[in-house]
Structure 1
């Protein structure tokens, strides 16, 4: 497996994890039992997911001449 494939797989998995966590925490914060901590960590997770997507785009641009296999 090339470095490009490893990055695509892990960036995809990590971004799904970050955005899923953000959605869960923000939904909990919006509910009746939500706390400020849920809101803060939800926002941190959403920003982290955005940064991971940005990083993935950067790496793909940097490795555009590298083959996938």
Structure 2
């Protein structure tokens, strides 16, 4: 597996983990504290930013020829 492919897989797995963390924070957490709510908000933001970064990286990496 190339470094580019690993990077794309890592971005995908990270995005899925952020989605799971946000679902846990808002739906499955036993208590709703300020820390858990903050964690959920940060996870939602990260889950939206990671695919954007993935598209940016894919477009940039496609131009690199090694």
Equivalent in the alignment of 2:21: 21
* Bigger relative contact order, structure 1 or 2 (CA pairs below 8 A, ≥6 apart): 1
Instruction: Give the total of aligned pairs.
Output: 65
Matches of 1:21 and 1:49, distance apart in 2: 10
Equivalent in the alignment of 2:2: 2
Contact 1:28/1:38 (8 A) holds in 2: no
Given the superposition, is the C-alpha separation of residues 64 and 4 from structure 1 closer, same or farther in structure 2, using an over 3 Å criterion? same
RMSD of aligned C-alpha atoms?
A: 2.1
Matches of 2:23 and 2:49, distance apart in 1: 16
Unaligned stretches of 5+ in structure 1?
A: none
Equivalent in the alignment of 1:45: 43
Q: TM-score under structure 1 normalisation? A: 0.76
Q: TM-score under structure 2 normalisation? A: 0.78
Contact 1:26/1:43 (8 A) holds in 2: no
